Structure formats: structure tokens, C-alpha cells
Structure 1
Amino acid sequence: MFEHTARAAGLAAGYLADLCWADPQRGHPVAAFGTAAAALEKHTYADRRSAGVVHTAVLLGALGVLGVAAERAAARRGPAWTFAITAASTWAVLGGTSLARTGAQMADRLGGDDLVRARALLPSLCGRDPAALDADGLARAALESVAENTSDAQVAPILWGAVAGVPGLLVYRGANTLDAMIGHHSPRYERFGWAAARFDDAVNYLGARATGLCVVAVSGAPAEAWRAWRRDAGKHPSPNAGVAEASFAGALGVQLGGPTQYAHRLEMRPTLGDGPAPQARDLRRAVRLSRAVQALATVAAVSVASRIGRRASPRSSGA
């Protein structure tokens, strides 16, 4: 039985490892990928979409090949190795615990009126210009980031791990990292980052909606979360972030959106949810909600992986 559930057990173990140790301060595999991507960009960059397609395909293709090779090598050695490589990969790609801890730190700094340290912390959560934000703006930016990254850092990757194993985990995290590096609107990356941004949208589509369903299930305010999701998510410029942010806004009874200042531009975002602007206490509630959503998504992913393993078992034994 264990050989049919090694992937599921590895996902659970990787989640628990992230809970215990979160992201390392140095030598994180995701940081190593980012360094490699930046080095490759020196050779592939051109202000064209086609150059960005090549850049993205080379990097994510390499991660896919690495994941397939690692999983096949582990399978030849036995289920214990499959468990180990899945657990290690899951821990490496998940960022839910670091997200929650950073969100809680931001809430503490805002609650103590320490805006200098709150502004210094904001770049750990999102790419907005902290100098342009007051206490309410910092709280809103942090809460929106916690909502969006609950999907990006936890729900989507662990679901990809359930259905596609180690290759799914690695390619997903690579896509998400590339999107953060080059998939934004700026003079340099408007065209070169197009492929990375569109691929990230595709791989996050189901994860974002799973996040919304988890929010509805665990928030204690299912009707409000569902109503805000259905009414407001489509207004957001991102097809995926809007789902997470709107469902969080509805569940917490706050209003998100409005003027959003980035380093290169000001966006006028539509409002999501009903209620007052979020404050530090709402950010603390968002962190608790994020942790609950992460836990439920992990349970769902482990269940999916177990069911896939059971269905694959008869075919494998009859081959």
C-alpha cells in the first residue's frame, strides 16, 4: 500500500516541514533558480515576446526534465525514495508559513504604529512602493498580498504536486518565480515578460479557484465570501488574484482595491468586498484565515494524490 501512497505521504511531510522550518534564510533552491534565470537573461533578453518565450521555455523545460529524472530515479529505488524526493520538493516550493509569519509581523508593526519598520517589511510581501503608503495603505497592501499568495505560495503548488508529482511542483514554482521576476508591466519587461506572465496565469487558474472554495469552507462567513467572489473577482486585472482577494475581502468584511502604487505606475483598482478599509486587526484575521486555507488545501491535495495512486495501481500491476 505504501508504494501507492508515497506521493501523498511526501506531500503531507513536505507541508509539515514547511510548518516547522519555513523557508531557509540562505541557500534556498528557489533563490538558486532565480540566480540562474537572471544569468540566462543576460544572453536571452531582447525587447520581443519571442525572446521571452524562449527564455521561459528553456528555464521551465529544464525544471520539468529535472523533476521527471528525479522522480524516475526515486521510483527505481523504491517507495521510500519517492516519499523522500516528494517531501523535499514540496518543502522547497511551499511558502505558506513564511507568508503567514511575515503577515503577522506586519500586523504587529502596524498595531504598534511603527510605520518605518512596516514600510521596510512590505517588499517581503509585494512590489508596491511603501513610501507612498500610510498605515491603512500598508494594511491593505499586506492583506491583499496574503490573500493572493495563499494561492500562489501554497494552494496551487501543492495541488500541482498532487496531480503531477515532483515535475509539477518544480515547474509551478519556477513559473511563479519567473512571473515575479519578469512578468510585470515595466518598460523592460512589457514584451519580454509576456510569456512568463501568461504561463503563470494558466498554471494558477485552478489553484486560485480552489483557494476561493477553501475560503468559503473555512472562513465562518461562507455566504459573504461567495458573494464577493462571484460579484467582484472579475473586476480585478488578474484572472486569479481577483478570486483570492475578493473571497478574502468578503470573508473578513473589509473592502480591498483602490489606488495601487507600484514602482513604475499607478493602477486604479476596482473595489472588492464591502466594509471598511482593513486595519492591523484585519490583517491578523487574514493570516489566521490563510493558515486554515493552507491546511484544508493540503488535506485535499493528499486525498487527490492518494486516489490517483489507487487508480494507477491496477494498471501498473497488470503491465
Structure 2
Amino acid sequence: MWAEGVGGAGAAAAAMLLALLIDRLWGEPPARMHPVVGMGRLLGAGGRWAGASEARDPDFRRWAIGAALWCLLAAGIAGSCAAMQWLLGQAPVWLAVPLLALLLKPLFAWRMLQAEVQAVEAALQQSLEAGRERLSWLVSRDVTQLSESEVRESALETLAENLNDSVVAPLFWFALLGLPGAALYRFANTADAMWGYPGWRGGRYWQWGGKWAAHADDLLSWIPARLTALLLALGAGGLPLAKLWCESRRTPSPNGGWPMAALALALDVRLGKPGSYVLHAAARPPEARHTQSALQLTRRAVHLLAALTALGGLWSAYG
């Protein structure tokens, strides 16, 4: 098992729990030291070759360039993390565990996600325009015509989807593959955000150059997205699984619909993206109180994840 080099699965579980504590106490490191910001810079530079300067369909050359660049960058990031993990394996456990936690922490972002969603709600209490402006920090969609309930829906969808993308999925891959797994996932998710949406963006055409990035993120998110929905369902005291399955299929994404549908059903509110999809359409639009309920529920989901991690570590150590 990968964790044997740093003291076994129990030590790996301890590192994950310590990383969650570090996140709660201090949040994100400075941008100049943040590895995900560094990934974004690399992807931004690579985008000059992956993205096309003119629309051409099909464009298999651009697809191949995008795929090759993705694989090259992913290999470099995962390889450097594997080297760091190997070096930690040479250190005593009492030193390796906190260092591993410090390296893991920037690869997920739970405190920041909660703060951003709370900031949107606080801005909405000032004015609709302030809420729209604050939401624009979180989403790429046009916010200028959104109503108050639609702003809130967008914020809650971001909370649910990023509970997977920014918390559960990187920790899931850390549990399976260690630091390289968590870093590879965050790279894939960042690449999808920067390269994976088809059409024109940033003066580049991404219909073909970003296909590999989009499908890689879909693959790596498949299990974690469903695990996130399960954690939300457990945190809510149970949800009708048939209804969850049905609602989750209404979004274009094969994964994003799962945590969003779970949150919509748990809160008994409607969530949707104008002109694209609606989840739990028969329910009422969310109100301010639902934002607080959503934050409480997602905290319970993260606490459940931490508890399962602790139990897994104890089982490995004493089972």
C-alpha cells in the first residue's frame, strides 16, 4: 500500500485529519505559494498551444496537442509529488505525518468554499446587484440578469459541486494513491475549468483542444461525485435514492448533478441554471435560511468523511 512509506494507512489517515484541521484553522496558503495557482499558470501557458486561434471542426491535431500537453503536465506534477512522498517515507512518522498534512492541505479547499458562499448571501442582503457581483467571483455564467433566487441557486449549486471537486474528490484520491493522487485530481479539475468548456474563451477555441481535459476530469470525478451525494444523503438523515438518481441525470455533467441533486432534495428547494436544467422543479426557490441550512448540511458531510477516515485509520492500526 502507498501509505506504508509514511507509517501505514493509520498515519495517512492522521495526515488527512490534520490537513482538515489546518484548513479549518488557517485556510489557504498565499497565492504565490499555492500549488493549484501554479497549476493554473502552467495550464495558462500551455493553452497557447492547446487552444485554437480559429474554429475548425473537427480538429484532431488540436485534440492531440491538448491530450499530449495534459499528459505531460500531469506526469510532471504527479511525479514530483511522488518524489516528495518518497522523501517523507525516509523520515520518522512523527515528522512525516505533519509534513504530509501540510503538503496535502493546499490540494483541497473547504474553509474557503464555505466563506465564498456565505459572502454571496451576505452581499444579497445588501442588494441584488451586490449579490450578482459577488457571485461572479464563483461562476463563469452570465450573472447580470439573475434574480435573487437564481443568484442563491447558483451559490448553492457551487457549494454542492465544489464539495466534491474541492474537498471529497482530492481526499478520495489521496486515500487511494497518496499525495500524487490528490495532486493529479486537482490538476485534472483545474484543467477542466480552464480548457474543458467548448467554444470560445480567452481568445481561444476549445472545442477540440480541451476534450481530453474534460473527459479526464469526468473519469476521475465519477466515484467521488456519487460518494459526495451519499455523504449529503447520510448527513440529511436519508434521501430517496430513486429520486436522487433521476434528478442527478438532468444536468449535462455526468457527475455534477449528483451532489447538486442531493442538496436540492435535502433542502427541498429548486436548483437550476437558466436555460440549461432544473433540479427538484416542483420545490420552492431557496431563501436566505436555506443557505445556512446548506452550509450546516455540507459541514455534516465533511464531518462524516472525517469520521470515516478516522475509523479507517483505527481499523488499519488495530484491526
Question: What TM-score bracket applies, with the shorter chain setting the length?
Answer: 0.7 to 0.9
Q: CA deviation at 1:77?
A: 2.1
Structure 2 residue identity aligned to 1:127: S
Query: What is the CA–CA distance in structure 2 between the aligned matches of 1:305 and 1:182, rounded to whole Å?
Result: 37
- Mapped contact 2:78–2:184 kept (Cα < 8 A): yes
Q: After superposition, give the CA deviation of every residue in 1:140-183 in whole Å (9 maximum; x if it has no partner).
A: 11111111111111111111111111111111111111111111
Indicate the residue corresponding to 1:88 in structure 2. 102
DSSP-derived class of the 2:279 partner: strand
Where does residue 191 of structure 1 map in the other structure? Answer: 208
Indicate conservation of the 8 Å contact 2:251/2:257, yes or no: yes
Equivalent-residue separation in structure 1 for 2:227 and 2:278 (angstroms): 23
Change in CA separation of 1:180 and 1:289 when aligned onto 2, cut-off 3 Å: same
- Whether contact under 8 Å (1:208, 1:243) holds in the other structure is yes
Rounded Cα–Cα distance in structure 1 between residues aligned with 2:171 and 2:24: 14
CA distance in 2, matches of 1:203, 1:273: 29
2:249 is paired with a residue of what secondary structure? helix
Match of 1:36 in 2: 42
Kept after mapping to 2: 8 A contact 1:156/1:207: yes
Helix, strand or coil at the partner of 2:253: coil
The whole-number CA distance in structure 2 between the counterparts of 1:302 and 1:43 is 44
* Corresponding residue for residue 155 of structure 2: 142
Q: 1:114 to 1:204 in 2, by over 3 A?
A: same
Which residue of structure 2 aligns with residue 276 of structure 1?
284
Could you tell me whether the CA contact under 8 Å between 2:156 and 2:294 is conserved in 1? Answer: yes
**Whole-angstrom CA distance in 2 between matches of 1:35 and 1:305:** 36
Q: Which amino acid aligns with 1:137?
A: E
Identity %: 27
Counterpart-to-counterpart distance in 2, 1:286 and 1:273: 18
Distance, in Å, in 1 between the alignment partners of 2:134 and 2:227 is 28
> Aligned Cα RMSD in Å?
2.2
For each residue in 1:170-226, what CA deviation from the matched residue of structure 2 results, as whole angstroms up to 9, or x when unmatched?
Answer: 111111111111111223112111111111111111111111111111114x235x3
| CA apart distance, 1:281 | 1.8
Equivalent in 164, 175, 196 of residue 162 of structure 1 = 175
1:3 paired with 2:17, answer: no
In the alignment, the residues of structure 2 paired with residue 309 and residue 172 of structure 1 have an alpha-carbon distance, to the nearest angstrom, of 27
More helix by share: 1
Counterpart of 2:37 in structure 1: which amino acid?
Answer: A
Distance across 1 between alignment mates of 2:250 and 2:133: 30
Q: CA deviation at 1:41?
A: 2.5
Q: Does structure 1 retain, via aligned residues, the 8 Å contact 2:269–2:284?
A: yes
* 1:130 aligned counterpart, secondary structure: coil
Q: 231, 240, 249: which is aligned to 2:246?
A: 231
CA contact (8 A) 1:136 1:279 kept: yes
Residue 256 of structure 2 is aligned with which of 241, 254, 257?
A: 241
Judged with a 3 Å threshold, the aligned counterparts in structure 2 of structure 1 residues 77 and 35 are, in CA distance, closer, same or farther, namely same
What letter corresponds to residue 20 of structure 1 in structure 2?
Answer: L
Within 2, Cα distance between the matches of 1:25 and 1:117? 26
SS of 2:31's partner is coil
Map 1:1-319 onto structure 2 (within 5 A).
3-4=7-8, 5-27=10-32, 28-46=34-52, 48-110=62-124, 112-187=125-200, 188-220=205-237, 222-224=238-240, 226-259=241-274, 267-272=275-280, 274-304=282-312
Greater Cα offset, 124-133 or 169-178:
124-133
What's the CA shift for 1:302?
A: 4.3
Given residue 268 of structure 1, which amino acid in structure 2 is its aligned partner? Answer: S
Whole-angstrom distance in 2 between the partners of 1:40 and 1:308: 42
Query: Structure 2: where are the runs of 5+ without partners?
Result: 53-58
CA distance in 2, matches of 1:306, 1:162: 14
TM-score with structure 1 setting the length: 0.87
Cα distance in 1, alignment partners of residues 212 and 318 from structure 2: 36
Kindly indicate whether the alpha-carbon contact (under 8 Å) linking 2:18 and 2:101 is maintained by their aligned counterparts in 1: yes
Contact 1:22 1:98 in 2 (8 A): yes
Match of 1:317 in 2: none
Distance 1:182 1:223 in 2: 35
Query: AA paired with 1:105?
Result: A
Given that residues 128 and 148 in structure 2 are in contact (C-alpha distance below 8 angstroms), is that contact kept between their aligned partners in structure 1? Answer: yes
Query: Is the CA contact (8 Å cut-off) linking 1:179 and 1:200 kept in structure 2?
Result: yes
Structure 1, unaligned runs of 5 or more: 260-266, 312-319
CA 142–56 in structure 1, closer or farther in 2 if over 3 Å, else same: same
Q: Contact 1:228/1:247 (CA < 8 Å) preserved in 2?
A: no
